[in-house]
Amino acid sequence: MSAANPLWLNENLATFDEQVRIEKGPQIIELNCNKETLSNDVTSAHYKVGARDAEGKIILGCSIDDPEIDPALHARALNDPYGYISPGETMKVIDWKEKFIPSVWKVYLNKGGLFQQVNSFSKKDDAIHAVQQMLGGT
């Protein structure tokens, strides 16, 4: 197999001699943090008060200054290196259910044994062509 030809590991993942991989996956979107967007009908169940958004920020159910906030959550949020999100602020979530935008083909380059995303494409053929160009193929 040439480095410019993909080896399909499954229907959504291909490798090009372990130099580059393409994988179909969801996109990260921004939503206003509120009760509606935290509902399981809108986002995945793990986006809830006390959990983290896609950037690692703690999701709060009320303002950090609200006297009704859980004391443990308050302390955790104030001391967290990633910060927190109060209602009305923007949170980032992975659109696993493709409710807002379709999945994309992500291109990952092997950098010292660690695959890092370098690009993404809406069409599989475009991702394959871009990798082939990267690798000097057709």
pLDDT reading at 110 higher than 70? yes
Q: Taking the domains of the chain in order of start, what are their residue ranges?
A: 7-25+103-134, 27-102
pLDDT reading at 2 higher than 70? no
Q: What is the pLDDT of residues 76-91, one digit of tens each?
A: 999 999 999 999 999 9
pTM over 0.75, yes/no: no
Q: What percent of the chain has pLDDT over 90?
A: 84
DSSP-assigned letter for residue 52: B
C-beta separation of 20 from 109 below 8 A: yes
- DSSP H/E element including 115: strand 114-121
Q: What is the pLDDT of residue 37?
A: 93
Q: What is the pLDDT of residue 136?
A: 84
Give Cβ neighbours of residue 105 (< 8 Å, ≥ 6 apart): 22, 23, 24, 120, 121, 122, 123, 124, 126, 127
Query: Which two tokens mark 26?
Result: 């969801």
Q: Is residue 98 very low, low, confident or very high in pLDDT (cuts 50, 70, 90)?
A: confident
Residue 131 CA to its chain's centroid (Å): 21
Q: How many CB atoms lie within 10 A of CB 57?
A: 20
Q: Does residue 14 sit in helix, strand or coil?
A: strand
Q: What is the pLDDT of residues 4-55, one digit of tens each?
A: 789 999 999 999 999 999 999 999 999 999 999 999 989 989 999 999 999 9
pLDDT reading at 1 higher than 60? no
Residue 37 CA to its chain's centroid (Å): 17
